[in-house]
Structure 1
Amino acid sequence: MFLSLQRLIMVSGANRDFAPTHIDNEAAREGGAPAAYADIMFVFTMIDRLLLEWAGPAAVLRRIGPVKLHDFVLCGEPLEVTGTVGRVTPAAAPDGRPGTEVEVEIAFVQGERRPVTGRGHVWLPA
C-alpha cells in the first residue's frame, strides 16, 4: 500500500491525535523527521490487521508485542507489513477451547528501511 498524507490525516482524525507531525510534512520536518509519520495507533492497527486477516475470523488476537520502533513510518512511501510464523504451541482460548497459539514475527518495510519490527500472538481453534 502507498502511505499517503491523506491516510495519515484520516487516521489522526479517527484516533483524535492531531499532533502536527502526523498530519503536516512541514511540521514533521521542523521536528527532525523527513516527512509526516504514522502514530503508534496506526502501527498497532496495521499489526492487528495483518494478524487477523492471516488467521481468519475464528482466531483470537492474544497479544501484540514487544514492538520496536526503529525509524519513522513515513507518508509518501510504499508500505508493506509482513509476518513470518515463528513458534507454534498448543494453547487454550480464554474460554478454555483447545487450539494453537502462533507467534508471528512482524516487519514494516518501506523501501530498504524496516522502521518497525515486533511480534504478535494469535490463538487458532483446533
Structure 2
Amino acid sequence: MTTAQAATRVFEEVAVGDQLPEVRLPLTVYRLVMAAGSNRDFNSIHHNSEYARSTGAEEMYANTSFLMSSWERLVRDWAGPGARLRAIRGFRMRSFNYVGDTMRVLGEVTATRRDGQDGVVEVTVRCENSSGVTVGPGVVEVVLPTGGEDER
C-alpha cells in the first residue's frame, strides 16, 4: 500500500489548484493482455499486434475499461479508502494508448463544494503519452469525509 492510500484525505485539506500525484503506467503486452482478459474485452485490437495493425492501428492498444480504471486509480490513490467516487464525466478518447508507450494519468482539483454533509471535490483528469493528451480531459467527482470544520 502506498502512502497516498494509507489515510483518507479530509475535505477541509483540499484546495482548488491542488495537483494529484501522477500515475505512470508502462503499457506492456502483459499489462494490456491481462486488462483485456480481466474485463472480458476479447477484441483482438487489445491483445494482438498483427490484428491491430491490420485495422490501421500502429499497434495493439489499451481498452476503454483499462483507461477509465486508470482515472479511478489516480483519484483513489490520492483520496484514500474512505472516499467515495460519485461520477466520472467527460471521458472521451482522443487517440490510442499503444503498447510500448508509457501513459501518464494527471489530475488537478478544479472545484470543491458542500452537498449537505458531504464534501464534494471535482478533479479534472487526463491521460497523456508521448504523443500528448489521449483521453479527456474529464471530471471525476469524489466525496471526501469532512472534519466538521468550516471550508477554507
Q: TM-score, normalised by structure 2?
A: 0.76
Could you tell me which residue of structure 1 aligns to residue 125 of structure 2?
106
Task: Report the AA paired with residue 121 of structure 1.
Answer: E
Note if contact 1:99-1:125 (Cα within 8 Å) is conserved in structure 2: yes
Task: Say if 2:94 is the partner of 1:70.
Answer: yes
Task: Say if 2:31 is the partner of 1:4.
Answer: no
Task: Say if 2:76 is the partner of 1:52.
Answer: yes
Paired-residue identity, %: 34
How far is the alpha carbon of 1:62 from its aligned partner?
0.3
Task: Report the AA paired with residue 132 of structure 2.
Answer: R
Secondary structure of the corresponding residue to residue 106 of structure 1? strand
Larger radius of gyration: 2
Unaligned runs of 5+ in 1: 93-97
Aligned residues: CA RMSD: 1.0
Runs of 4+ in 1 over 4 A off after TM superposition: none
Could you tell me which residue of structure 1 aligns to residue 17 of structure 2?
none
Task: Report the AA paired with residue 126 of structure 2.
Answer: A
Could you tell me which residue of structure 2 aligns to residue 95 of structure 1?
none
Between Structure 1 and Structure 2, how many residues are aligned?
A: 121
Higher relative contact order (CA 8 A, sep 6+): 2
C-alpha separation between the residues in 1 aligned to 2:97 and 2:143?
28
Task: Say if 2:140 is the partner of 1:120.
Answer: yes
